[in-house]
Structure 1
Amino acid sequence: MTQLWTYTDIAKMIDHSLLSPSLTTQELEEGCALALRYNTASVCIMPYALRRCADLLANSTVKSSTTIGFPHGGHATAIKLAEAQQALADGGQELDAVINISKARSGDWHYVEDEIAGLTTLIHDGGAKIKVIFENAYHDDAAKIRLCEICGEIGVDWVKTSTGYAATGATTADLELMRKHTPERVQVKAAGGIRDLDALLAVRTIGVSRVGATRTQAMLEECRRRLGLEPITQTAQATAPAGY
């Protein structure tokens, strides 16, 4: 049976996640090197390491990204805006911002909308893209739909399920709901629970364009195996395309 996707199609769905607070500086740099070898969509790294990440990824097709208001979303809006401004200065190309979960659960949609709009304007004016994290574990379907509508009206780049730090991550039901209630111009990202290639392929069929992953190497080596491609070695040229 002919595959309906290429290696690059799959690799460019993955935001390689380097957000564990226990990662050392060496592990963060090794993670950036891994993303380069496998030609992922991006590296999403802890904010303090973003400038170094951007330097390591320079002249490649792997984007540098980080988080805003992560993981709980409770920062004051002014702090989130300052975080975003710093991330842009440090070379961030895609910023994953957590909504104010408390305000959404309280039904204060004006606050939620104003914050997302302010972040989107700042990030877009800085030449970068924004992914808005809902943290769906804490919301009912009506709230998720309202968040999709707000993000669609504002024109964010992605709506994203979760941080990976709540009780649950991406679910099929949530991804289907988000894709249904978000305009086509807004993409959907799944995060939390995408641990193997089959899980990635399953969400791809829903219309998901990005996934957050920590098991990037295993997923992409399995992808290469299924496509009959050679494994990628530690010495592979980092900036070269990883196969088709």
Structure 2
Amino acid sequence: MTDRSLPADPIALAGYVDHTLLKPEATTADVTALVEEGARLGVFSVCISPTFVAHAARVAAGRLAVATVCGFPSGKHVSAVKAAEAARSVADGADEVDMVIDVGAAKEGAFDAVRADVAAVRAAVPDGHLLKVIIESATLTDDEIVAVCRAAQGAGADFVKTSTGFHPAGGASVHAVELMAATVGDALGVKASGGIRTLDDALAMIGAGATRLGLSGTAGVLAGFSGGRAPAGGSGY
């Protein structure tokens, strides 16, 4: 861990959290419940699929931010499609957009293509709305993580983010977060997501440099402060 102050109570930790529901079978009622739970817990935002953005924004009514995803979960969408999806989400009320890079391009070393992909979405996400770039860190080498983070930064991203939570290679790791934070410094935020299910997990990611967390089991993680245990299961996000 790096030497940084850790949240000391549930209220402080909740301020790091994107309270997340991205299951394909999610319903409108599920999203309503997510927003209400998120508001009660004091999270920073809810993160939901693009089809639910307008509904979530209505229910949230300014009580918390609304984030969504773009090119999710594979990243294998042409840049113009990602940009159109992001623009529609912003028009529907999204405050933040989490886009997935073309991981294959990164594996090929085509980092200019990664940068161009991010830049296309950045151009569709106006000032005042955050763009987070999901790099699927579990699939990348250390050198590839560094290069992708630099590409995202060069394209105007606001955050780099570890994972979709849906890739079989896995989710966030302390090592990946440390490397991402060291690469972008204070210029960008770092979001850890994927497999963070306990208070210890969450604090380890923040200690490594995460400035935002994607959690699907937020209540269980926060309950760790009082000795509660996070429930089994969840989306893996």
Q: Is TM (by shorter chain) over 0.5?
A: yes
1:101 is displaced (CA, Å) by: 1.2
Q: Distance in 1 between matches of 2:132 and 2:13?
A: 19
Q: 2:84 aligned with 1:82, yes or no?
A: yes
Contact kept in structure 2, 1:155 and 1:186, CA below 8 Å = no
Q: Deviation per CA, 1:99-136: give whole Å up to 9, x if none.
A: 011211122222111111121232134x3101100011
Q: How many residues align?
A: 221
Unpaired segments ≥5 residues, structure 2:
1-5, 228-237
Q: Distance in 2 between matches of 1:112 and 1:220?
A: 35
Structure-to-structure mapping, 1:1-244, within 5 angstroms: 5-60=8-63, 62-125=64-127, 127-167=128-168, 168-223=170-225, 225=226
1:184 is displaced (CA, Å) by: 1.0
1:154 is displaced (CA, Å) by: 2.9
Letter in 2 for 1:147: V
Q: Distance in 1 between matches of 2:118 and 2:206?
A: 26
SS at match of 1:87: helix
Q: Distance in 2 between matches of 1:50 and 1:160?
A: 20
1:78 is displaced (CA, Å) by: 0.8
Q: Distance in 1 between matches of 2:54 and 2:174?
A: 35
Mark the structure with the bigger radius of gyration: 1
Distance 1:103 1:9, change over 3 A: same
1:4 is displaced (CA, Å) by: 5.7
Contact kept in structure 1, 2:132 and 2:159, CA below 8 Å = yes
Contact kept in structure 2, 1:70 and 1:98, CA below 8 Å = yes
Q: Distance in 1 between matches of 2:99 and 2:15?
A: 20
TM-score, normalised by the number of residues in structure 1:
0.86
Contact kept in structure 1, 2:10 and 2:223, CA below 8 Å = no
1:9 is displaced (CA, Å) by: 2.0
Q: Distance in 2 between matches of 1:195 and 1:150?
A: 30
Q: Distance in 1 between matches of 2:12 and 2:125?
A: 26
SS at match of 1:124: coil
Letter in 2 for 1:206: A
Letter in 2 for 1:33: E
1:69 is displaced (CA, Å) by: 0.1
Distance 1:4 1:54, change over 3 A: closer
Distance 1:59 1:27, change over 3 A: same
- The residue number in structure 2 matching 1:241 is none
Between the two structures, name the one with larger relative contact order (CA 8 Å, sep ≥ 6): 1
Q: Deviation per CA, 1:52-83: give whole Å up to 9, x if none.
A: 001111131x1101000000000111100100
Q: Distance in 1 between matches of 2:123 and 2:85?
A: 14
Q: Distance in 1 between matches of 2:156 and 2:186?
A: 11
1:158 is displaced (CA, Å) by: 0.9
Identity %: 34
Q: Distance in 1 between matches of 2:182 and 2:174?
A: 12
Contact kept in structure 1, 2:115 and 2:154, CA below 8 Å = no
Q: Distance in 1 between matches of 2:10 and 2:123?
A: 34
1:6 is displaced (CA, Å) by: 4.1
Q: Distance in 1 between matches of 2:84 and 2:26?
A: 24
TM-score, normalised by the number of residues in structure 2:
0.88
